[in-house]
Structure 1
Amino acid sequence: MGEALSLKADWLLPVTGPPIKNGELQIAGGRISALSSVEKIKSSSGTVVIPGLINLHSHLDYSEAPFLKNAPLFDWIERLVATTRQWSREDFERSAAKGAAEAILSGTTFLVDSSYTGQSALAMHRVGLKGIVGLELFGVDATSAAPVFSHWQKRMEELEQELQRLQKATGSESSWSTDDKPIELTISPHSLYTVSPELFRLAVNWAKDRKKFVLTHLAESPQERAWTETGHNRLDSYLRTVLPGPAEEAAQRADLIKNISWKGRGLSPVESLAAEGCIGDRLIAAHCVHLGADDLGILHQAGAAIAHCPRSNRNLENGRAPLEQFLYRELKTGLGTDSLASTESLSMLDEAKALVQVLTEAGIFARDEAQQLALRLITIDAARAAGADDRIGSLAPGKLADLVVLESTYEDPKLKEALMQDGDRVLDGLFNGAFRVRDVYVEGRALVKNGILENPVQKVAG
């Protein structure tokens, strides 16, 4: 764990409390021990300390996949599958490593990731990120649910062993984090259109028995909703394109797709999952853009959480999720970036900035209200959605010292002084490029210093 230290900054933004001018934050034993305001700093350092940022939905595995913008979702997925199907293990390892580095360099300290290969978990450990990684599960053939799930369990056991070996090799299993499991491995049934009801239930029951989260994509596109309600055939054509198998079995696969039981039942995607008993308080559902009249009530009653991805929703032409309704219903909600194949960066500040723009242009919130909300959605609200708000998400005594030091990008001393005059200007500066990420701490240990990634694994091992 990190040694005792004290950080001084022009401003501390606790998120759950008022901004503290001329602030001092003390760390002991990897946790925040005190917050206070000190005598006026002689000259502005242009620094602000905020909680470590939380990304509620990503796919680090695809960080080196081509970025495609303004492509309908299923056109995009078909291209992504065609590209990554040719990748080797080393390709996925390199891609996940790129994403993990970008995430922490942009201020993320906790990440919820759905991983096709499991490489995300290993990449996160290597840079010191904490979070939840769901090993993805696929399988539309209901008759094969049991053997497919058994194969997934074997993959999960192998991933757990590989992560444990990596932790032990670096000496970090016991000394790196006060969390029992800084990276929690769980299950991620990809979506209801790629996972049969029978297989989805196996996934949910597995997670329930172990008190783990379930990560999935839900109600992301209009085509998904049309498919479950009326049997719209765009998803059928997508499945015919991406399902593996020899050409001579194409007719058999087409028959399988034709008889998938999710589709054409007159139910929304949310209603479809609920009908199978697959929505609970450990579900983190990404996107939730195209919802039926009763869907928010179903999600709220179950205690499910939503990962809202405004940039990915825009780039893949899925529209705007009804965030204001999530808030009205008091649904657990945080922001996610999705992958670098569908969004411009893994920066949560960039994601929050995009959200502020969407909310203000639509006239849903005033700019200052949108900014305050956006900051919460990448800190304390996201922590709550991930079941970690007792440990992270705000600056408060007793919480883990996961935090970010931001530095003003203004070189002119007068502009810098003006920026740091009051908390409202500082908050506005977070969303207009007035700051850069300088340092990132996880449990009091500096993982990024002056914008350069440290190697926490080597340091612990050494």
Structure 2
Amino acid sequence: MSQNAPQTIDLLIEARWVVPVEPHDVVLEHHAVAVDHDCIVAVLPIAQARTHYAPQERVELGEHVLIPGLINTHTHNPMTLMRGLADDLPLMVWLQQHIWPVEAKVIGPEFVRDGVELAVAEMLRGGTTCANENYFFPDAMGATYRKLGFRAVVGLPVIEFPSAWAKTQDEYFERAGETHDSFRNDALIRTAFAPHAPYTVSDESFERIRVLADQLDIPVHLHLHETAHEVEEERKKSGLRPFQRMQKLGLVNDRLIAVHMTQLTDGEMAACAEAGVSVVHCPESNLKLASGFCPAEKLRKAGVNVAIGTDGCASNNDLDMFGEMRTAALLAKAVAEDAAAFDAGFALRAATINAAKALGLDETIGSIEIGKQADLAAVRLSDLETQPLFHIISQLVYTTGRHQVSDVWIAGKRKLAARELVDMDTAGILARTHAWRERIAAI
């Protein structure tokens, strides 16, 4: 090959706009992203890209913006099969009288597999390329995500009552270790400890989790301060707020992914910032269950890493990260009484690079940068509903719908092509979903 010959690469994506997220608030016009194997090797103007590279595949997106794949930082994706099952109920009634009783009768590897498949199809069609998962049968979840080529952090559940997954405390930890080992070297699947919540997990279990999370170098994914009731019950029981109890047990550190966090003092927010805690804001689930309002803007100003998640489809009722970004931004403004709060650029960060940081994956995904994995989503902005275009990032957050996602790649592999799922049996997914609907409705 001569000195000036173009370099052969796997893929060149040419877009009207590229929003790399890093650097912050930058919009690159008429740029291309060069991908070889599973990594981004260059981000440069289209004219230069055509001179420098000879791609095996060229994708031209003349009316699109290319963004990092969105990251759903808190999900219970098997529960997608319970979408709409018990709506318009408060959290504990919803959980104890409806969700847990149904789960007890249907939960198992098959339910988990089919729920994850349905969720992956929905997430891909909405530009999401990674999920932080929290549910039972993490072995089945991880195997399903791996089969589908979807990136996930799979939670290793710990709770103080018997379930179909484990009967005793020791069995929860034994199975957690086995599941972690089975995905130790996987390219797409990572693990995290997923103790359910302070009110369902003992001090002894939390102490074991703290030691093991350090040893295994994995995060701890925990529902925390979800409701005022939770905080008050813990205070009556132990004399401490749940966050104080986690501090006492050594869990408040840079491994903690604290989900919901609707009830916080200024001191607790400062402690989160100092310790490097990541907070996952789930605005639509919190609104639907009337759980309270996460002080997202105060957390941002305090220097806390704030990410966004949908929660599960049984309490949201979708996995739409575009909708979640918009709701997060709007709700934060109302809570802060500040129209400039949680601006569009920050909302996009909360669904990309901040989420990646929460999962310990910010060196791998979350932005369009050389050396990172090619997890990418193309969003068509030519629709009447997104015209005229003045500010691309604002339009992404405040106007764009997930139906405008046209193409998605994970680790350089196409997963959605012109709105069509690649290598997924859509008819089979729908058939299995209908069968689960009939089974659950009969309970």
Matched with 1:136 is 157
Regions of 4+ moved over 6 Å: none
Query: 1:181–1:266: structure 2 CA closer, same or farther, 3 Å change rule?
Result: same
Given the alignment of the two structures, is residue 47 of structure 1 paired with residue 64 of structure 2, yes or no? yes
Compute the displacement of 1:408 (Å).
Answer: 3.0
Q: Deviations over 1:108-155 (max 9, x none)?
A: 1121111222133223222212131112111179xxxxx933201332
Q: Aligned residue for 1:96?
A: 116
Report the alpha carbon displacement of residue 362 of structure 1 after superposing the two structures with TM.
4.6
Between the aligned partners of 1:4 and 1:340, the Cα distance in structure 2 is: 36
Q: CA deviation at 1:33?
A: 1.4
RMSD over aligned CA atoms reads: 2.8
Could you tell me which residue of structure 2 aligns to residue 24 of structure 1?
32
Indicate which of 30, 35, 43 corresponds to 2:43.
Answer: 35
Question: Counterpart in 2 of 1:115?
Answer: 135
For 2:421 and 2:160, locate their aligned partners in 1 and report how far apart those are by CA, in whole Å.
38
State the secondary structure of the residue aligned to 2:92. Answer: helix
Are 1:72 and 2:80 counterparts? no
**Does the residue aligned with 1:64 lie in a helix, a strand or coil?**
helix
Match of 1:437 among 386, 394, 405: 405
Q: Could you tell me whether the CA contact under 8 Å between 1:137 and 1:187 is conserved in 2?
A: yes
> Which has the bigger relative contact order, CA under 8 A and spacing at least 6?
1
Q: Which amino acid aligns with 1:292?
A: T
Q: Who is 1:225 aligned against?
A: 231
TM superposition score normalised by structure 1: 0.79
Query: Which residues of 2 match residues 123-202 of structure 1 at below 5 A?
Result: 123-139=144-160, 148-157=168-177, 159=179, 181-202=187-208
Whether contact under 8 Å (2:257, 2:279) holds in the other structure is: yes
Is the 2:78–2:116 contact (alpha carbons within 8 Å) kept by the matching residues of 1?
Answer: yes
Determine if contact 1:186/1:213 at 8 Å carries over to the other structure.
yes
Identity of aligned residues (%): 26
**Cα deviations across residues 324-374 of structure 1 (Å, max 9, x unaligned)?**
121122112210110000102112111101112213445645469621111
Q: d(CA) in 2 for partners of 1:159 and 1:426?
A: 39
Q: How does 1:154-303 map to 2 (within 5 A)?
A: 154-157=174-177, 159=179, 181-230=187-236, 263=237, 265-303=238-276
Q: How much does 1:206 deviate?
A: 1.4
Residue type of the alignment partner of 1:77? L
In the other structure, the counterpart of 2:437 is: none
Q: Write the distance in 1 (CA, Å) between the matches of 2:190 and 2:241.
A: 31
Deviation at 1:303, TM superposition (A): 1.7
Question: CA offset at residue 375 of structure 1?
Answer: 0.5
Q: Per-residue displacement from partner, 1:3-62 (whole Å, max 9, x unpaired)? A: 62111111101112310111211112321111123369xx98321100011111111121
Residue 330 in 1 paired to residue 303 in 2?
Answer: yes
Secondary structure in 2 aligned to 1:381? helix
What is the CA–CA distance in structure 2 between the aligned matches of 1:363 and 1:215, rounded to whole Å? 26
Aligned-partner Cα distance in 1 for 2:346–2:379: 19
Q: Alpha carbons of 1:291 and 1:377: their partners in 2 closer, same or farther (altered >3 Å)? A: same
For the 8 Å contact 1:61–1:117, the answer to whether it is kept is no
AA of the residue aligned to 1:82: P
Maintained 8 Å contact 1:61/1:92: yes
2:75 maps to which of 35, 44, 58: 58
Count the aligned residue pairs.
397
- Secondary structure at 1:290's aligned position in 2? coil
CA distance in 1, matches of 2:107, 2:214: 33
Structure 2 length-normalised TM: 0.82
- Give distance in 2, aligned partners of 1:419 and 1:6: 28
Amino acid at match of 1:49: L
Paired position in structure 2 for 1:400: 373
- Partner Cα distance (1:225, 1:135) in 2: 24
Whether 1:390 aligns to 2:363 is yes
Gaps of 5+ in 1: 142-146, 165-172, 174-178, 231-262, 458-462
State whether residues 153 and 189 of structure 2, in contact with CA within 8 Å, keep that contact through their aligned partners in structure 1. Answer: yes
Q: CA deviation at 1:158?
A: 5.0
Which of 7, 12, 17 is the aligned partner of 1:6? 12
Displacement of 1:399 after TM fit? 1.5
Alpha-carbon separation, structure 1, partners of 2:412 and 2:34: 10
In the alignment, residue 436 of structure 1 is paired with which amino acid?
A: Q
Unaligned runs of 5+ in 2: 1-7, 49-59, 426-443
> How far apart, in 1, do the equivalents of 2:66 and 2:253 lie?
35
State the SS of the aligned residue for 2:94.
helix
Q: How far 1:384 sits from its partner (Å)?
A: 1.4
Secondary structure in 1 aligned to 2:199?
coil
1:382–1:393 contact (8 Å) kept in structure 2: yes
CA distance in 2, matches of 1:386, 1:106: 20
Q: Which residue of 2 aligns with 1:453?
A: 421
Distance in 2 separating the partners of 1:456 and 1:160 = 26
Q: Deviation digits for residues 59-113 of structure 1, max 9, x if unmatched? A: 1121111434432111111111011111042223212221222222211112111
Cα–Cα, structure 1 residues 195 and 183, in superposed 2: closer, same or farther, change >3 Å? same
